[in-house]
Amino acid sequence: MTEQIAEMKPETAGVASTKPEAPLIDLMGGDLRRQIDVHDHGFVALCDVMPRLVPEGQTADMAIVQAARVSYGQGTKKISEDRGLIRYLLRHRHTTPFEMVEFKFHCAMPIFVARQWIRHRTANVNEYSGRYSVMPDRFYRPTTENVHRQSTSNRQGGEESIGAGTAGDFLEYLAKAEALYAEYERLHEDGVSREQARIGLPQSIYTEWYWKCDLHNILRFLSLRLDAHAQAEIRDYAQAMWDLIAPIVPVTVEAFRDYEMESMRLTRLEIEAIRAGGAEIDSTNKREQAEWQAKREQLGMDGARA
Ligand SMILES: Cc1cc2nc3c(=O)[nH]c(=O)nc-3n(C[C@H](O)[C@H](O)[C@H](O)COP(=O)(O)OP(=O)(O)OC[C@H]3O[C@@H](n4cnc5c(N)ncnc54)[C@H](O)[C@@H]3O)c2cc1C
């Protein structure tokens, strides 16, 4: 069998192969994985990327350009520069070429973060099984300054640090939940199945998974989970993912910052307010008004609060 493989050559009869003009380089520099630690026990590790081997001087952005050119054909002569083409595609939401790049990650995160993450349905996921294996004794605890007060403006969110006293009470509450792990172990030793013993463990316990996704859907994940409205903990994971992919698809990441992350959408009412030179929008909805004021501040418009 080994000999058979050794004898196999890429150029077999009837197969046409193309050699790159420049030598191929590994976009992961020969690394098996590149890991960024998150919090106390979490991590995001990049394990693979497609394309991984590209001609020297190129990045995985080339796969986007390659796919786009098949659909635009002669038309791309007008947008001949690769960077310009990628920026055009992103601006005009021509998304399928971005699906030609894929990333595979190994990640460890607390279950409450995993519950938010798994909502992104277009990824391929394989998760640690608490039925098959014993849950590891690892729990997430925020630092004292990262215990947040309930936001008054956003029911889903937290705001500034709550202060050491109440934060201490909160951390004690987490410690009590973690102490249930000893009960979990004892009950499992007494014969309770792993699949049932685990159900009393808190959401702060860690799970892990392999997560593979194409670039188009990763960008969507990142735009939602790096946003200030996302929970701080999942934002930390999204930031690690962003940092890992940025050197591999630098042109796309730059365009995504320009046209999505650091851009702004204006509603019809907001456009009308700008045209009329007014500070107010024609709406009595308080949330809409507040969002408009936030945009005015971001734009540095006259009279907007700094
Ligand atoms: C700040 C924030 C708060 C949230 N709060 C809540 C909450 O309170 N409750 C809650 O349940 N969820 C909540 N979510 C989750 C949210 O509703 C989405 O489920 C999640 O963000 C995934 O988005 P998505 O469906 O676009 O992503 P993906 O599942 O990755 O899908 C990507 C895109 O693929 C397409 N797609 C995927 N599957 C289908 C399908 N079956 N049919 C049609 N099109 C499909 C859609 O275009 C979709 O936008 C929250 C998310 C955020 C970011």
What one-letter code names the amino acid at 205? I
Residue 206's DSSP bridge partners are 110
Alpha-carbon gap, residue 272 to 275, rounded angstroms? 5
Residue 301 CA to ligand 1 centre (angstroms)? 33
Q: Rounded to 5 degrees, what are φ and ψ at 270? A: -70, -40
Residue 70 CA to ligand 1 centre (angstroms)? 30
Residue 139 CA to ligand 1 centre (angstroms)? 27
Residue 110 CA to ligand 1 centre (angstroms)? 20
Ligand 1 atom with the smallest distance to the CA of 224 is 53
pLDDT at 284: 92
Question: Beta strands of the chain (E only): which ranges?
Answer: 24-26, 34-38, 42-50, 53-55, 102-110, 124-127, 148-150, 158-161, 206-214
Alpha-carbon gap, residue 270 to 280, rounded angstroms? 8
Q: Rounded to 5 degrees, what are φ and ψ at 168? A: -60, -45
Q: Report yes or no on whether pTM surpasses 0.85.
A: yes
Q: Is residue 230 in contact with ligand 1, taking CB distance under 6 Å?
A: yes
Enzyme catalytic residues: 225
pLDDT at 4: 47
Half-sphere exposure of 263 (CA within 13 A, CB side): 12
pLDDT at 305: 55
pLDDT at 6: 46
For residues 304 and 297, the answer to whether their CB atoms sit within 8 Å is yes
Q: Whose CA is nearest to atom 11 of ligand 1?
A: 119
For residues 293 and 281, the answer to whether their CB atoms sit within 8 Å is no
Pocket mutation for ligand 1, best pick of 99, 112, 121, 222 (most atoms within 8 Å of C-beta): 121
Alpha-carbon gap, residue 117 to 193, rounded angstroms? 27
pLDDT at 76: 55
Q: Whose CA is nearest to atom 53 of ligand 1?
A: 224
pLDDT at 11: 57
For residues 40 and 140, the answer to whether their CB atoms sit within 8 Å is yes
Tens of pLDDT along the chain (306 residues)?
344 444 555 556 788 888 888 899 999 999 999 999 999 999 999 999 999 999 999 999 999 999 999 877 655 555 558 999 999 999 999 999 999 999 999 999 999 999 999 999 999 999 999 998 989 999 999 999 999 888 777 666 667 888 888 999 999 999 999 999 999 999 999 999 999 999 999 999 999 999 999 999 999 999 999 999 999 999 999 999 999 999 999 999 999 999 999 999 999 999 999 999 878 999 999 989 999 999 999 899 876 654
Alpha-carbon gap, residue 207 to 137, rounded angstroms? 10
Q: Is residue 220 in contact with ligand 1, taking CB distance under 6 Å?
A: yes
Alpha-carbon gap, residue 148 to 110, rounded angstroms? 18
Q: Rounded to 5 degrees, what are φ and ψ at 207? A: -125, 175
Distance set, CA 222 to CA 10, 112, 119, 218, 261 (Å): 38, 18, 13, 6, 9
Residues 6+ apart with CB under 8 A from 247: 59
Alpha-carbon gap, residue 286 to 152, rounded angstroms? 14
Residue 245 in 3-state DSSP?
Answer: helix
Q: Is 125 exposed, middle or buried (0-12, 13-18, 19+ CB in 10 A)?
A: middle
Q: Is residue 96 in contact with ligand 1, taking CB distance under 6 Å?
A: no
Question: Beta strands of 206-302 (E only): which ranges?
Answer: 206-214
Residue 119 CA to ligand 1 centre (angstroms)? 6
Pocket mutation for ligand 1, best pick of 211, 224, 231, 234 (most atoms within 8 Å of C-beta): 224
Question: CA angle at residue 220 from 217 to 224, to 5 degrees?
Answer: 145
pLDDT at 271: 94
